[in-house]
Structure 1
Amino acid sequence: MCIECVLPELVNLTPHDHDRFYRLVGGRRCNNLNHNYVMPADEDELRRFELFHRMIRFVFGNKVYVGPVETVLSPERDTGGEKLRVLDMGTGGGLWAVDMADEFPHVEVTGVDLAPLQPRMVPSNCTFELCDLDARCLPYPSNSYDVVHARNMHSGIKNYPHFLHELTRILRPGGVLILIEFDLRPIADGKVTSADAKTGIPGWCALAEKIQHALTLSGVDVTVPGRMGELVHDLGWYDQVFQQHADIPVGFWPKDPTLLTVGQLAWMESDLLILALRPLLLSSGLSEKEVKVLTEAAQRDLYFPLVHIENRLHVVHAIKSV
């Protein structure tokens, strides 16, 4: 199901619109197009998206992308007369799409998501659509976009290799695919945690384990973030595939000013994330009491950490064969 929308302000949506696009899960508003993705679609989640987006800008050196995007989107690039186009999958609040539209005013930018959370006042070259991106066949023509971007998507996709196949089909030869996902295993004092390790952040790690369990129950492969480069390479359509990772500090412990800013943003984003996970955890069969205990233990580790907490961010960019 894909619906092209002229999106109103959220406050102007009618009750009928809310019934159509949203449902309540565990007291939070969630999307109604894909019940496999049980994360909120509300104002608190928009704040979390904004914090994450600001953090990414610092990590990427005041950019929102990696790879030869400026070259691919150059007005001088020969596209056979076709308009240069960018597709942002899982656009959320639309911040990435709007930033790209501002930076490349000659490019058509389309953001796609499960819920109408995006702003109404956007650049004239930016539009938004609603679509279930876990569908078997995405409703976009083959070889039609020069940059395809998918960030924080894998937890709503049951068959990620097929999703990558669809993104590759949509991407033009010579175009850039960008994938960004967090590893689901926390890092304590520089070491990736395991279930039986003494980490100093037991509540944080217990929550991470329950997240992985809940996603696995819903059919999601939790190993995807660390294997994205391999999965893209296996498609056989890319001459160049680059995977890198960055360990993102969470908290106020870094000495470097830039890393300190990243850590502060990541801390605030994590504080909202703990509460945003409630619908997912409840949907996995946990009781209200169990979710409360998990949440409070994770919050204690976040507020009063005994170790340095980090999260690993996996970033892939690949150039489709010409």
Structure 2
Amino acid sequence: MCVECVPPELVDLTPQDHEQFFRVVNGRRCNNLNHHYMMPADKEELRRFELFHRMIRFVFGNKIYVGPVEKVLSPDRDTCGERLRVLDMGTGGGLWAVDMADEFPHVDVTGVDLAPLQPRTVPSNCTFELCDLDCRCLPYPSNSYDVVHARNMHSGIHDYPHFLHELTRILRPGGVLILIEFDLRPIADGKFTSAHAQSGIPGWCALAEEIQRALTLGGVDITVPERMGELVRDLGWYDHVFQQHADIPIGFWPKDPTLLTVGQLAWMESDLLILAIRPLLLASGLSEKEVKMLTEAAQRDLYYPLVHIENRLHVVHAIKSV
């Protein structure tokens, strides 16, 4: 077990004891395992996780995964007598892990995160562990999981190619790797734009660019989402690698009923995100006044948009060579 990891039994401590796993940063509660990761770990962030999870279900056609997951997790699959296992990296509030455990009751599902935010009442085949996943050696045996899932994680990983190497190491031959990340570049009326262009959403674009600057300053590669498929192929351990993307509407402008629901959920998630990134921006050197101006300008564009705002979702699934 690498030194950054906390034994999984600590998840079962009382709420009072959980205080050792949290710290307050610029008014928001954050995790205490990795001080480089500045996104909050509190009730507001749990609400944002829930909105994103619901949105994904609509985008994926009432599913929460892509690829041949049902085939790989079939009770008839030969695993030499070992239990089928799923690992959810960066599980957050644990919603994906719980839903997978409900859908596949014969499969052991483990969710991993920096903070104990997950529910206590879960299916018997679902467990949660605490671990800093931004480490050189993940504390999981090689060839031990049939599905490995990681979404909205790249902003907390400093060496994403090595992270993918570790995910591949612990994935069983024939298993499925699923990666889901949002692009950090804003889209207006169907085109990527910037704060220097006539975008119609200057405040939204300025905030996006400051987020990119802050992450880059912290050593995070902001181009990872668009390159995930390429990075997985470069590992050389996968026979099939598929990368797709979908431009997610943000707001109430879509005419299609399903897209309208997606847009509403994305709008609410974005509204919470604007405030959630405050600790990150302040840690990057911006003043309270600068952050206040950025967030208020972004909120104006979100509340009163002059164009159609979207965000590109990148989705990769890959099947490990047998």
- TM-score normalized by structure 1? 0.97
Structure 2 residue 238 is matched with structure 1 residue 238: yes
SS across alignment from 1:316: strand
Which of 1, 4, 8 aligns to 2:8? It is: 4
Say which is worse superposed, 105-114 or 196-205, in terms of deviation: 196-205
Could you tell me which runs of 5 or more consecutive residues in structure 1 were left unpaired when the two chains were aligned. Answer: none
Deviation, 1:196, is: 2.8
Alignment of 1:244-263 (within 5 A): 244-263=244-263
Structure 2 residue 130 is matched with structure 1 residue 130: yes
- CA deviation profile, 1:141-170 (whole Å, cap 9, x unmatched): 000000000000000000000000000000
Counterpart in 2 of 1:158?
158
- CA deviation profile, 1:226-284 (whole Å, cap 9, x unmatched): 00000000000000000000000000000000000000000000000000010000010
Counterpart in 1 of 2:224?
224
User: Percentage identity across aligned positions?
Assistant: 85
Contact 1:7 1:119 in 2 (8 A): no
Say which is worse superposed, 33-42 or 298-307, in terms of deviation: 33-42
Deviation, 1:7, is: 3.4
SS across alignment from 1:203: helix
Counterpart in 1 of 2:63?
63
- Letter in structure 1 aligned against 2:143: N
Deviation, 1:36, is: 1.6
RMSD: 1.0
Alignment of 1:179-198 (within 5 A): 179-198=179-198
Could you tell me which runs of 5 or more consecutive residues in structure 2 were left unpaired when the two chains were aligned. Answer: none
Contact 2:194 2:202 in 1 (8 A): no
The CA distance in 1 between the partners of 2:290 and 2:199, in whole Å, is 21
Alignment of 1:22-101 (within 5 A): 22-101=22-101
Counterpart in 1 of 2:176?
176
Counterpart in 2 of 1:17?
18
- CA deviation profile, 1:78-130 (whole Å, cap 9, x unmatched): 11111100000000000000000000000000000000000000000000000
Alignment of 1:281-320 (within 5 A): 281-320=281-320
The CA distance in 1 between the partners of 2:165 and 2:264, in whole Å, is 36
**Structure 1 residue runs of 4+, over 2 Å off?**
5-9
SS across alignment from 2:11: coil
The CA distance in 2 between the partners of 1:75 and 1:6, in whole Å, is 31
- Letter in structure 1 aligned against 2:311: N
The CA distance in 2 between the partners of 1:194 and 1:204, in whole Å, is 9
- Letter in structure 2 aligned against 1:13: P
Counterpart in 2 of 1:204?
204
Deviation, 1:6, is: 5.6
The CA distance in 1 between the partners of 2:18 and 2:255, in whole Å, is 48
Number of aligned residue pairs: give it: 318
SS across alignment from 1:7: helix
The CA distance in 2 between the partners of 1:302 and 1:246, in whole Å, is 20
Contact 2:113 2:130 in 1 (8 A): yes
- Letter in structure 1 aligned against 2:15: L
The CA distance in 1 between the partners of 2:256 and 2:18, in whole Å, is 47
Contact 1:41 1:117 in 2 (8 A): yes
- Letter in structure 1 aligned against 2:243: Q
The CA distance in 2 between the partners of 1:148 and 1:271, in whole Å, is 29
